[in-house]
């Protein structure tokens, strides 16, 4: 059973990427495309598989960022308490830098 072919514009819409990113992914063989004349076409199944893997990667990355933020917040909170700083002091310090 063959799946439908997508144009570059359709792929960019599905993956929410720029033309530059699409070009880089083709060059790095992250996404396989085929030239038909001057245009690129892509297998819909390949595009959807890539979208799913990207989605999973983003979820993992966002979890890591959230955990990192919580750790930084905890450290900052302890540092503030140890130095007797208030949040107003931090705002003043940030504005001066």
CA distances from 29 to 43, 71, 76 (A): 14, 37, 43
Domains and CATH numbers, the chain: 5-96 (1.10.1660.10)
Q: What is the pTM of this model?
A: 0.56
The pLDDT tens digits along the chain (97 residues) read 457 999 999 999 999 889 998 999 999 998 999 999 999 999 999 999 988 887 766 666 677 777 888 777 777 777 666 677 777 777 777 777 5
Residue 64's pLDDT is 76
Give me the pLDDT at residue 1, please: 44
């Amino acid at each position: 059973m063959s799946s439908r072919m997508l144009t570059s514009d359709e792929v960019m819409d599905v993956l929410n990427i720029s033309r530059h990113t699409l070009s880089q992914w083709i060059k790095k063989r992250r996404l396989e495309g085929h030239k038909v004349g001057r245009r690129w076409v892509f297998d819909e199944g390949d595009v959807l598989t890539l979208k799913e893997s990207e989605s999973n990667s983003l979820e993992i990355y966002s979890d890591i960022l959230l955990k990192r933020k919580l750790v930084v917040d905890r450290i900052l909170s302890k540092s503030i308490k140890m130095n007797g700083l208030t949040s107003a002091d931090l705002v003043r310090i940030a504005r001066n830098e």
